[in-house]
Chain A
Amino acid sequence: NAGVTQTPKFQVLKTGQSMTLQCAQDMNHNSMYWYRQDPGMGLRLIYYSASEGTTDKGEVPNGYNVSRLNKREFSLRLESAAPSQTSVYFCASSEQGRDTQYFGPGTRLTVL
């Protein structure tokens, strides 16, 4: 039982490049989330998926897209990376929307 896994762990991009961050959970959870963490700040919600087939914007969605591929997987895509997107990205999941969220190990992304 791996919990929540994320790939890659580290990534360096040039401005304008695109990439997809992958997230998977094996806890049969319905809800999944993407957060970003910037220095000196708590986590901020980018997008979430309350259930398979649904996605909604969070606090800071601009510049990102998401796909809930199936119940297990929830990906985050940066279409044209910008330096302002340099951050640590966390994926999380919960059984239902208001339940405890369990986090993946994070992806450190640097955009040059």
Chain B
Amino acid sequence: AQTVTQSQPEMSVQEAETVTLSCTYDTSENNYYLFWYKQPPSRQMILVIRQEAYKQQNATENRFSVNFQKAAKSFSLKISDSQLGDTAMYFCAFIDFQGAQKLVFGQGTRLTINP
């Protein structure tokens, strides 16, 4: 079964700093997507970034970028120039192209940006 592990339950940084959130996953599949979702106090689940496993180039979205290491099954999220509005729970998630194609979530990292 596929699993997603986020080893950092909580993180805290100062505004404008760079922070990296870790995620590892386990799968025997070769084709899949990886995601980072953000859940602010409003509870809404918001897509931050998506990475296709067949692409070697790391995905970027403005201040958000990933470090995708397929062989190591690692998918970390880097937030540059962090802002107060980045304060949220961040979930790593995985979906494969075979079988039931179900989205599997990690347990989340609570990120606090301090002024």
Question: Which positions in A face B, CB cutoff 8 Å?
Answer: 33, 40-45, 48, 50, 56, 58-59, 88, 90, 92, 97-98, 100-103, 105-106, 108
Known contacts A56-B100, A101-B103, A105-B44, A43 near B35 by CB under 8 Å: no
Question: Which positions in B face A, CB cutoff 8 Å?
Answer: 4, 33, 35, 37, 42-47, 50, 91, 93, 95-97, 100-103, 105-108
Known contacts A42-B108, A43-B91, A97-B101, A103 near B44 by CB under 8 Å: yes
Select B50's contact among A43, A44, A100, beta carbons within 8 Å.
Answer: A100
Tell whether, in the assembled complex, residue A98 and residue B107 are in contact, meaning their CB atoms are under 8 Å apart.
no
- Enumerate chain B residues within 8 angstroms of A103, measured Cβ to Cβ: 37, 44-46
Give complex CA distance A44, B107 in Å: 10
Tell whether, in the assembled complex, residue B45 and residue A90 are in contact, meaning their CB atoms are under 8 Å apart.
yes
- Enumerate chain A residues within 8 angstroms of B43, measured Cβ to Cβ: 88, 105-106, 108
Cβ of A70 to closest chain B Cβ, rounded Å? 22
Tell whether, in the assembled complex, residue B107 and residue A100 are in contact, meaning their CB atoms are under 8 Å apart.
no
- Enumerate chain B residues within 8 angstroms of A41, measured Cβ to Cβ: 107-108
- Enumerate chain A residues within 8 angstroms of B105, measured Cβ to Cβ: 42-44
Select B33's contact among A33, A98, A105, beta carbons within 8 Å.
Answer: A98
Give complex CA distance A41, B103 in Å: 14
Cβ of B13 to closest chain A Cβ, rounded Å? 22
Tell whether, in the assembled complex, residue B102 and residue A45 are in contact, meaning their CB atoms are under 8 Å apart.
yes
Cβ of B57 to closest chain A Cβ, rounded Å? 18
Tell whether, in the assembled complex, residue B50 and residue A98 are in contact, meaning their CB atoms are under 8 Å apart.
no
Cβ of A65 to closest chain B Cβ, rounded Å? 19
- Enumerate chain B residues within 8 angstroms of A56, measured Cβ to Cβ: 100
Known contacts A100-B35, A102-B47, A42 near B101 by CB under 8 Å: no
Among the interface residues A42, A88, A101, A105, which one has the most CB atoms of the partner chain B within 10 A?
A42
- Enumerate chain B residues within 8 angstroms of A45, measured Cβ to Cβ: 102-103
